[in-house]
Chains A and B, each alone.
Chain A
Amino acid sequence: MWDWASFLHYIHSPYLLTGAAISLGLSVGAMLIGLIFGVIAAMMRMSERRWLRLPASGYVWLFRGTPVLVQLIIVYTGLPQLGIQLGVVASALIGLGLNEGAYLAEIIRSGVLAVPKGQFEAARAIGMTWPKTMRVVVMPQALRIIIPPLGNAFNGLMKTSSLASVISLEELLRRTELLVQVQFKVLEIFLVAAFYYLVLTTVWSVIQGWLEAYASRSVAEDRTTRRTKLTAAVESAVLSS
């Protein structure tokens, strides 16, 4: 039997709310780590030097080619065998962050490659060094292209972060499971958890909309941009459904 009273009771349970906050913190932390690894790996993959390209390609290949769950378990329960002992939180952040970085590297790389070659050349021609060309000219333009898929990646990460429950990190899903074990209101409690995830991803999609509008401000008056935004909105709706 479905019990409304229990559902409404658990929906403001501080225990689960804290779990949701931990999930959010874990996702933000892993995203930041992923962005650092992603930017570095993307830059390395676009280098002219083979010895920079190869390790970055290897990283992307490895972390995109194996399940996150397996990576998390290896980091938490496998690495101690090599004398690398990481706490639960550190393991989850590193595991999720490294995995995310591999995907973000590809997103960032495709964004940079979408910036017309003439923009690089014009920057080089006025005497900008390669790093400055990237920072001042290429990345701000790539950002406009990157933000929609980057936002989708973060949306995905907030849900993937639930895998950290497997290595006993007490985030939302783990706390839900623990609560169910003593309270037996399985459907009510899991639906509360699902509701929290839904709130997180919904709030994020609103923020993402603002970010997209901000990054597109230089072309905001353009008709083509409106079309691009519409396409992006449709894409993200399709992707997240």
Chain B
Amino acid sequence: MTQAVEDKRAVVVEARGVHKHFGQNHVLKGVDLTVYKGEVVVIIGPSGGGKSTFLRTINHLDRPDSGEVCINGAALGVSPKGSRRATLSDAGLSRQRRQVGMVFQQFNLFSHMTALENVMCGPVQVLKTPRAVAQVDAKRLLALVGLADKEASYPAQLSGGQQQRVAIARALAMHPAVMLFDEPTSALDPEMVGEVLKVMLDLSEQGMTMVVVTHEVQFARKAADRILFMEEGRIIEEGRPEELMGNPRNERTRNFLRMVMGEA
């Protein structure tokens, strides 16, 4: 796919010059990223390189110290031109976040709600969807992730893989413009990794726009349109899977891949 063709597609996520500090620690040192509609971008790299932090700035769970993130053209946390305040209120930012779905390493299902209630919660509470409508959609999504029979189960009664699939359904219920996955399989027992990756692969094939932080190189090879290698707060190298994995230009990318593939 040539650059010219790519540019005609709608831009969903646009991050420019994102910096983030945690105390003295300069975690993100100016990260830029453009994600087009329907694209699957996988971010790989060593731990502590800023991958997860960067992902969390995309929906402002961590607010960047400088730089900006636009979702469908609107800058997150910034008031529209002409309004008195420079920064958007909590309610305004929350409204913007609806467009961004997120799946966490630790699932973070609401532990006092059943699987079905977890999936319905966003539409009912945030979008004010009537319960009956939200319920139909939630059941459809639970079936989509293969858990139609688990709707009445509480998170504590589900395996890690099942919880993560419910979490994916919960994020999808908001019909987001983009889904963010923060190491979605890192907390899972090995035998459960496959079921979650399969759901993600299905999603990517249905044209969902996705940004995925993961150590699963095989998944990246199969699902990614583009892979970014991130280290020490910067994107060191990016390319299509066969380019980046087959013939990495940067030596650090090469070393990292050799290490990860060696283990696999």
A residues adjacent to B (C-beta < 8 A): 116, 118-119, 121-130, 132, 136-137, 140-141, 144, 218-219, 221-222
Contact = CB atoms under 8 A, between A and B. Distances in A.
Nearest to B118: A122
A12 to B, nearest CB: 45
Given A127-B94, A218-B112, A121 B121 contact: no
Contacts of B101: 125-126
B112 A140 contact: yes
Question: Interface of chain A, helix or strand or loop or mixed?
Answer: helix
Given A127-B122, A132-B125, A218-B154, A121 B104 contact: yes
Contacts of B102: 122, 125
B111 A136 contact: no
A129 B114 CA distance: 22
A199 to B, nearest CB: 34
A141 B112 contact: yes
Given A124-B94, A127-B95, A128-B126, 18 more contacts: A116-B108, A118-B107, A122-B108, A122-B170, A123-B110, A125-B101, A126-B98, A126-B101, A126-B121, A126-B170, A127-B97, A132-B126, A136-B121, A137-B110, A141-B112, A218-B112, A218-B114, A219-B111
Given A125-B102, A127-B98, A132-B126, A222 B108 contact: no
Contacts of A219: 111, 154, 156
B42 interface: no
Contact of A141 (B94, B111, B157): B111
Instruction: Kindly list the 10 A-B residue pairs having the minimum CB-CB distance in the complex, ordered from nearest.
Output: A127-B98, A118-B108, A122-B108, A126-B122, A125-B102, A127-B97, A218-B112, A129-B94, A127-B126, A140-B112
B125 A121 contact: no
B212 interface: no
B264 to A, nearest CB: 28
B213 interface: no
A112 to B, nearest CB: 14
Contact of B125 (A125, A130, A136, A221): A136
B57 interface: no
B100 interface: yes
A141 B171 CA distance: 21
A219 B154 CA distance: 8
A132 B121 CA distance: 11
22 contacts: A119-B111, A122-B102, A122-B110, A122-B170, A123-B110, A124-B94, A125-B100, A125-B101, A126-B97, A126-B98, A126-B126, A126-B174, A127-B97, A127-B174, A128-B126, A129-B94, A137-B110, A141-B111, A141-B112, A144-B112, A218-B113, A218-B114
